[in-house]
């Protein structure tokens, strides 16, 4: 089934105890699309500026199944850029700079050929923009959105409006608490489900993820990686969402058990993403490696 | 197979946002034995004072399969007592008081009839005492110990000696970091395995548990409970260990996959413990409720 993602394409600069990466391909759209493309073709709606490096486009097109027709290039604008630094155990980071660039302008247009998309993922941006984008997919079968602390603080009303039209919401544990004032992740997710969506996924980083759905509850550990394998956590959450949505679009299913399996594919994709900077590790995995890691994850998380 | 636990029997006073419990049955031995007894008979080695309430003995004997022959009563001494208070989301607590009582005296004696025990769990106490107890079980097939931050700080050498003679170690995530200076739980556990034991279990509370074994790695989420079900987290870790060891002793197995399944039983036992104060919930579960919760846990953690 056709899968579409709307969000940012960015130029990332990352400093970590494991090294640095300057002006590399990043952004929610890029990570999502790269991860999802291993499981289903994916359409990208986003915007970049005239400064977007040709090498970044080239890298994104090496992912078979990533359709860039919806990627707008605005020659007089600049691409969204982000710089950050990770500390000690990679769980904490600080933002060094943010250049909004095209994100301060009008949202990207959805090409007419994309309007029949069935699986829709709205990566983090202003919820009013997400809602406007959402309504451009009248054939949607499953619509899921991400958000961030900023919008919970300054655009809660728009966010609540968006929630009413979504099937699913993906948040991290702090956002879940911030939205609901519940520190227990299951309780927080149940509160969010009351706001409209059929399901909520709470991402807990190294502690895994939970799914609260009107038809059931699921909990998964993270892939048990030791510190040698954690090079750069940037994009883990977006890759997770890409793996989940890619699995669902690839199978055409939207039931509880399929979403639960989708979480496992998301976990596997995120476990690859963090092994290298940017999309470098996602770019080199093949089907065999994917299946092997899924097998390892199943074995590690098995309850006999 | 015969299972034995050495540790404390305590008189607990707990204050939590959900209510208070004054002078109730507690201690690592009590929680461990109560949980384990649902899966295998369990022998208790511990000491109490003349002040130990008859009602506590009565409560402990309601758990079929708990053998109290090794419980020493010292009429002139006082029972270990602990008071604590939990905050907000139950993840933080402060100790209000500790009366060591019998814990300041000689360790309890192991009855001759217990010396043939095959599955041995040494709950937290000074590691030199744990080592001395361990050596009194020459027929042991699986020996596992718990510890705490205090001993890591003041008795590290004794702890390292103990580790060399153990099959398994159970720690929480802070203790794993404190022991190894690794903040990644998998990496920390791998470092501990290098110190002697065949396996290490890292308990992460609401985030589940991991198992690093020379034959493999496992990761489990916690049972997905919402806040309404968390009344008192006291004893969750000891019940977890009791469930794990009870499962292993009950099946007579010590291989990686059996320990992995043991972690799931530990998770299920802990999920019951926290639903009421003291051992009150553990006291009322029957086999059907146990199997039902294990089934729920399997469904929630299932990866198709």
DSSP string, B145-199: EE--HHHHHH-HHHHHHHHHH-SEEEEEHHHHHHHHS--SHHHHHHHHHTTS-SE
pLDDT greater than 90 at residue A90: no
Q: Which residues pair with B172 in a beta bridge?
A: B203
Cβ of residue A217 closer than 8 Å to a chain B Cβ:
yes
Pairing of strands B80-86, A209-213: unpaired
Contact call for B184 and A89, based on CB within 8 A = yes
Q: In this structure, what token pair is assigned to residue A179?
A: 């939205």
Tell me the per-residue pLDDT of A237-279, one tens digit each, with 9 for 90 and over.
Answer: 999 999 999 999 999 999 999 999 999 999 999 999 999 999 9
Alpha helices in B16-136 (DSSP H): 28-36, 54-61, 127-134
Contact call for B226 and A300, based on CB within 8 A = no
State the pLDDT confidence band at B1, using cuts at 50, 70 and 90: confident
Arithmetic mean of pLDDT, B140-144: 98
Cβ of residue A220 closer than 8 Å to a chain B Cβ:
yes
A172 three-class SS: strand
State the pLDDT confidence band at A89, using cuts at 50, 70 and 90: confident
Cβ of residue B304 closer than 8 Å to a chain A Cβ:
yes
Reference B31, options B219, B207, B246; nearest CA is: B246
State the pLDDT confidence band at A1, using cuts at 50, 70 and 90: confident
In CATH, the number for domain B3-301 is: 3.40.1190.20
ipTM of the complex, rounded to two decimals? 0.92
Q: Which residues pair with A201 in a beta bridge?
A: A170, A211
pLDDT number for residue B89: 73
Query: Which residues of chain A lie closer than 8 angstroms to B206, CB-CB?
Result: 184-185
pLDDT number for residue B120: 98
Reference B205, options B175, B172, B244, B229; nearest CA is: B172
- Distance from the Cα of residue B289 to its chain's centroid: 21
CATH of A3-300, picked from 3.10.20.740, 1.20.120.420, 3.40.1190.20, 3.40.50.12280, is 3.40.1190.20
A232 three-class SS: coil
Please state, as a whole number, how many other Cβ atoms lie within 10 Å of the Cβ of residue B253. 17
- Please tell me which of the candidates A91, A190, A264 has its beta carbon nearest to residue B303: A264
State the pLDDT confidence band at A160, using cuts at 50, 70 and 90: very high
Query: Which residues of chain B lie closer than 8 angstroms to A207, CB-CB?
Result: 204, 207-208
Tell me the per-residue pLDDT of A18-57, one tens digit each, with 9 for 90 and over.
Answer: 999 999 999 999 999 999 999 999 999 999 999 999 999 9
Q: Where are the domains of chain B?
A: 3-301
Check: pTM over 0.90? Answer yes or no. Answer: yes
First to last CA, chain A: 34
Closest-CA distance of chain A to residue B258, Å: 8
- Please tell me which of the candidates B186, B224, B257 has its beta carbon nearest to residue A186: B224
Contacts of B83 (CB under 8 A, 6+ apart): B12, B13, B14, B15, B95, B96, B97, B98
Tell me the per-residue pLDDT of A68-84, one tens digit each, with 9 for 90 and over.
Answer: 999 999 999 999 999 99
pLDDT number for residue B90: 80
Residues A248 and A174: their CA atoms lie apart, in Å, by 26
Residues B206 and B129: their CA atoms lie apart, in Å, by 31
Q: In this structure, what token pair is assigned to residue A253?
A: 């299913």
Tell me the per-residue pLDDT of B88-138, one tens digit each, with 9 for 90 and over.
Answer: 778 789 999 999 999 999 999 999 999 999 999 999 999 999 999 999 999
Arithmetic mean of pLDDT, A155-177: 97
Contact call for A210 and B216, based on CB within 8 A = no
Cβ of residue B122 closer than 8 Å to a chain A Cβ:
no
Closest-CA distance of chain B to residue A222, Å: 8
Tell me the per-residue pLDDT of B51-77, one tens digit each, with 9 for 90 and over.
Answer: 999 999 999 999 999 999 999 999 999
State the pLDDT confidence band at B296, using cuts at 50, 70 and 90: very high
Sign of the torsion angle spanned by Cα atoms B250, B137, B80, B91: negative
Closest-CA distance of chain A to residue B212, Å: 10
Contact call for B220 and A225, based on CB within 8 A = no
Arithmetic mean of pLDDT, A157-183: 96
Inter-CA distances, A274 with A148, A175, A232, B174, Å: 20, 21, 5, 24
């Amino acid at each position: 089934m056709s899968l579409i993602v709307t969000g940012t394409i960015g130029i990332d600069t990352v400093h970590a105890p494991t090294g640095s990466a300057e002006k590399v391909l990043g952004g929610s759209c890029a990570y999502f699309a790269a991860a999802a493309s291993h499981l289903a073709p994916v359409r990208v709606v986003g915007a970049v500026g005239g400064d977007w490096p040709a090498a970044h486009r080239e890298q994104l097109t090496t992912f078979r199944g990533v359709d860039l027709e919806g990627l707008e290039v605005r020659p007089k604008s600049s691409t969204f850029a982000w710089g950050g630094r990770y500390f000690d155990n990679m769980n904490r980071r600080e933002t060094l700079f943010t250049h909004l660039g095209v994100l301060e302008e009008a949202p990207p247009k959805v090409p007419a050929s994309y309007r029949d998309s069935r699986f829709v993922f709205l990566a983090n941006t202003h919820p009013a923009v997400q809602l406007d984008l959402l309504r451009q997919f009248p054939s949607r079968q499953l619509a899921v959105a991400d958000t961030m602390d900023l919008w919970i603080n300054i655009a809660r009303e728009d966010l609540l409006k968006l929630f009413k039209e979504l099937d699913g919401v993906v948040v991290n544990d702090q956002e879940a608490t911030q939205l609901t004032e519940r520190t227990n992740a299951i309780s927080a997710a149940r509160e969010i489900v009351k706001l409209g969506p059929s399901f909520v996924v709470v991402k807990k980083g190294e502690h895994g993820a939970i799914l609260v759905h009107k038809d059931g509850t699921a909990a998964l550990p993270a892939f048990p990686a030791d510190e040698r394998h954690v090079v750069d956590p940037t994009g883990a959450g977006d890759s997770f969402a890409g793996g989940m949505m890619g699995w669902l679009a690839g199978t055409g299913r939207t039931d509880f058990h399929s979403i639960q399996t989708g979480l496992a594919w998301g976990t596997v994709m995120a476990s690859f993403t963090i092994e290298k900077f940017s999309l470098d590790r996602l770019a080199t995995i093949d089907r065999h490696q994917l299946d092997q890691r899924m097998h390892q994850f199943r074995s590690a998380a098995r309850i006999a």
